[in-house]
A and B are shown apart, each in its own frame.
Chain A
Amino acid sequence: MAADLAESIIERDEFIVTKGKNKKQLKCDADSSAGCVSQRACVYCGARVVLNPITDAIHLVHGPIGCATYTWDIRGSLSSGAELYRNSFSTDLKEQDIIFGGAKKLAAAIDGLVEKYQAKLVFVYSTCIVGVIGDDLEAICSAASRRHNIEVIPVESSGFIGNKSAGYRAAGDALLRLIKPFESTVVEKNNSINYLGDFNLAGEAWIIQNYLRQMGVELNVTFTGDSHYTALKSAPNARLNIIQCAGSMIYLAGKMEELYQIPYIQISFLGIEDTAASLRNIAAALGEESMIVKAEELIAKETARVENIIKGYRAKLEGKKAAIFVGGGFKAISLIKQFREIGIDVVMIGTQTGRKEEYEIMNELVDDGTVILDDANPAELEKFMMEKGANLLVGGVKERPLAYKLGIAFIDHNHDRKHPLSGFEGAVNFAEEVYSTVCSPVWKSLTSLGMGSGVENHG
């Protein structure tokens, strides 16, 4: 691979920097080049992952079957109520629909589904082909909305109009339509907050809700983990928005500030340090003395509870090296700090869709020599992980087998996470997961008979 790679690296030179070595600015937020083996997804994917956790909605994909199949219940978002979102609905467009248009079929599909499931909310996702055959989604949806007296919201997510970030924006627009108060409704502000950018993977939003409750903070609605129609409708009433996953939610937060005068702060519940800081920031932003006191109590209590456990893992993990390749920049930043808590240095860090400001912060946080890269391909991930001697990769579905093949431990910090990784509990789970993969005895089998020079025991 090494020789082959040399050239590919030249092509992508602008997208990769090594801290301390080069003064140049990392290039990011650009389109991937044609013919690349990119780890990136499309607009529909971005829109779907943001909206999918809304539990009582019909998520209807208007297009050929594939887009619906690949997104059927893949997110791992948990629900405390409705489970309708875990079904897969598609108009399953066929050749004649492509020729004559899919409008009739879509209208009939909405009618059939609304009748079956009595939902108050339907999202209709546009796929690549809909953008080309020109079905008037807006008109079909508003007609259906009037017919059934429910909300039928089109999501403009044709795959080719951009990358995943464009999908976040499309989802943001759909959410803005959803939360727009009816004309007769007067927005009555209350003391609650909205929590943006937590999709309740493995129940993470529930952990944060619990903290907020202990601080006396009333949570209005979470975007979008374990949310439902009625709760989302009340979103404009909140007095503050807090944002976890900034990549997907910053647009929505900006709009909500503009339209409903809700200020926002960015927080992060990944790792002890960021969790504690975030709870303090929320209390400070709300400005109530009792909340500030309770936040400190909670932080003291929880830190005392988990500190020693984390220390135990730290002793076992000190000196190991991690590589990070995740979707957004904000998560990457938190992960650097979280790894520091358990004694691990980050030697390579990259994202699919990180923004310039985020890469700047990453650059500040990491040590000299760390490789920072945008929209990496598998060969690059391999090269830098091996070169830097990474013991562990944090990534998503497609990166997992790559890491394993290289004898490198792996953690899914994406849809496939198995334990909640948020808050103080999450910090313990994270350390436990890192330990269980990095120090697994399976890596010892690699050096055994028949493996030739084989793999060093990276664990």
Chain B
Amino acid sequence: MLDCTPKDITERKSGGIINPAKTCQPIGAMYAALGIHKCLPHSHGSQGCCSYHRMHLTRHFRDPVMASTSCFTEGSSVFGGGANLKASIQNVFHIYKPDVMAIHTTCLTETIGDDVSSIIKTAEIAEGKLVIHANTPSYVGSHITGFSNMTKAMVSYLAKSTSPEKKEQANIIPGFVNPGDMREIKRLVESMGIEYIMFPDTSGVVDSPMTGEFEMYPEGGTTVEQLQDTGNSQITLALGRFASSDPADLLNKDYKVPVATLKTPIGIKATDALLMTLRNSFAREIPKELEIERGQLVDIMTDTHFHFHGKTVAIFGDPDIVTGITEFVLSLGMVPLHVLTGTPGGSSSSAAGSFEDDINGMLKGAGIEANVKSAGDLFTLHQWIKNQPVDLLIGNTYGKYIARAEDVPFMRVGFPILDRSVHSYLPIVGYRGGMRLIEMISNALLDRADRDAKDEDFELVM
């Protein structure tokens, strides 16, 4: 039987993981780097890392994912990877001709102690070409940490402040979301009539249209000029604290660009917060078009709330997304019983607070007690569900084993989704994204109700 998880919860002493709800930093760094226009991500480590990350991203986006590797061998790991990296820099610009090469490290090169920034400084780099790097040790944090670190590197290597006066423009850091979400966030900001720089921006890179040609560097991505200009912006909106607040804080520290750290704009409340922040910072009105969209979403919520009220749900995935989804399902009257992320969730004592505090705070407001955990795994989530079943499971593809074993309706959201398509094109953020989420939740719940209904209970109108 596919279900190998025992129901009895016993203490796990080893600290090992069974069925992970996270992956390692470098893949997040690679994804972030793809969001720079004409950039080739480079994996400084063994060949396998690069291959796995490209494979995983390719499966999720169903688009070509290009990245190069230092191709470590036994020699380079004994004598250091400096020679490999210098040769890589030469070869990458010579053969693949990107404008930017974005290097991330791996557990191997971190452990042998390669000093990447010194290696870059002493490497020959062709005129007009740029090399940036992020340290992304796989044994710290998760893929979200890696995304944040590479986005931070964009700031530390490229951002400038060219005048004391700030420009009337916003920096928007979207976090580890799909290109469909990035497009939607940009649409919201554009419809407010506000100038902005989104970084990283993978729309137009990993959701590029079919043209009959293979573009090594598709049209999308934040340009170097835009990245340089981020130091001149009037504000940075960091959407999703775990993926976005570090680079925003760095912009503030280095160039005095104030930061608004907001939730990933999932659902009414978080989308409102995004638009209100923009309105207040730039003295703009919310356009009628967005008022209408908001009204439509509220209309849908009221039309269908009886489908959702009191339904129990388990949510897992990346911390920013899970936080947003939790807030949204609470606003529908649903009851989250289990909320888990694989990413280490920060500590209560830190300035930013912790994932568990955030979630518990929202649940407390709704009078709900639930299992909440950061740095967890799907073995734990499965055990929770066995002991306290739910009506719906929300998370990435890896949830399908639990959904099958427990016969729970399953709604796929987040990264990675390896067994369905189109998810990367359509948003879950903004009011439109809220509508889409409601459609997905109702389809999951009502398809199940139809399937399980006895003949006499089977209804045409629901």
Contact = CB atoms under 8 A, between A and B. Distances in A.
A32 B47 contact: yes
A87 B19 contact: yes
Contacts of A42: 46-49, 51
A418 to B, nearest CB: 12
Given A1-B216, A133-B111, A378-B66, A105 B47 contact: no
A373 to B, nearest CB: 15
Interface stretch (A191-199, A254-262, A403-411): A403-411
Interface in A228-252: none
B24 A41 contact: no
Contacts of A128: 45-46, 72, 77, 106-108
Interface stretch (B206-214, B234-242, B282-290, B440-448): B206-214
Interface in A5-62: 7-8, 11, 31-45, 60
A278 to B, nearest CB: 31
A159 B16 contact: no
Nearest to A40: B47
Nearest to A3: B97
A167 to B, nearest CB: 9
Contact of B68 (A35, A452, A454, A455): A35
B135 to A, nearest CB: 12
Nearest to A8: B95
Contacts of A41: 47-48, 51-52
B91 A35 contact: yes
B51 A84 contact: no
Interface stretch (A68-76, A280-288, A340-348, A354-362): A68-76
A4 B88 contact: no
B56 interface: yes
A271 B53 CA distance: 33
Contacts of B65: 398
Nearest to A383: B214
Contacts of B50: 38
B58 A398 contact: yes
**Interface range for B:** 35 or more
B73 to A, nearest CB: 6
B90 interface: yes
Contact of B58 (A64, A84, A86, A397): A397
A34 B15 contact: no
Contact of B19 (A72, A98, A127, A159): A72
Nearest to B66: A37
B139 interface: yes
Contacts of B68: 35-37
B369 interface: no
B87 interface: yes
A34 B12 contact: no
A3 to B, nearest CB: 9
Contacts of B262: none
A446 interface: yes
Contact of A33 (B64, B83, B91): B91
B46 A159 contact: yes
B87 A98 contact: no
Contacts of A112: 12-14, 16
Interface stretch (A88-96, A202-210, A315-323): A88-96
Contacts of B108: 128-129, 132, 159-160
B2 A83 contact: yes
A35 B101 CA distance: 10
Given A401-B62, A402-B214, A70 B14 contact: no
A38 B42 CA distance: 12
A35 B52 contact: no
B18 interface: yes
B22 interface: yes
A108 interface: yes
A98 B65 CA distance: 30
A36 B111 CA distance: 23
Nearest to B86: A34
A154 interface: no
Nearest to B56: A70
Interface in A367-424: 378-379, 382, 397-398, 400-402, 404-407
A34 B23 contact: no
A83 B1 contact: yes
B16 A89 contact: yes
B55 A446 contact: no
A432 interface: no
A454 to B, nearest CB: 6
A377 B2 CA distance: 38
A92 B17 contact: yes
A117 B16 contact: no
B460 to A, nearest CB: 35
A378 B67 CA distance: 11
B139 A90 contact: no
A459 interface: no
A401 B64 contact: yes
Interface string B68-112: 111111101100000111011111101111000000001110011
Contacts of B26: 66
B300 interface: no
B188 to A, nearest CB: 26
B33 interface: no
A2 to B, nearest CB: 11
Interface string B414-432: 0000000000000000000
B42 A161 contact: no
B138 interface: yes
Given A90-B17, A92-B17, A405-B214, A160 B87 contact: no
- Of B13, B18, B27, B66, chain A has the most CB atoms within 10 Å of the CB of B18
Contacts of A105: 14-16
Contact of B20 (A44, A65, A127): A65
A86 B2 contact: yes
A265 interface: no
A38 B216 contact: no
Nearest to A4: B97
Nearest to B25: A66
A33 B4 contact: no
Contacts of B87: 33-35
A39 B69 CA distance: 10
Interface string B343-359: 00000000000000000
Nearest to B218: A405
Contact of A94 (B53, B139, B214): B139
B4 A84 contact: yes
A109 interface: yes
Contact of A397 (B55, B63, B94, B112): B55
Contact of A117 (B4, B15, B91, B139): B4
B453 interface: no
A323 to B, nearest CB: 13
Contacts of B48: 41-45, 67, 159
Given A95-B137, A162-B73, A397-B55, 13 more contacts: A1-B216, A8-B96, A34-B84, A37-B69, A41-B51, A43-B46, A69-B56, A87-B18, A94-B15, A109-B14, A116-B6, A406-B212, A454-B211
Q: Please list the 9 inter-chain residue pairs (A to B) with the smallest Cβ-Cβ separation, ordered nearest first.
A: A42-B48, A455-B212, A66-B24, A35-B91, A35-B88, A159-B46, A108-B14, A109-B16, A64-B138
Interface of B: 1-4, 6, 12-20, 22-24, 26-27, 40, 42, 45-56, 58-59, 62-74, 76-77, 83-85, 87-92, 94-97, 106-108, 111-112, 137-140, 142, 208, 210-216, 398, 401
6 contacts: A42-B46, A42-B47, A65-B138, A66-B107, A398-B55, A406-B212
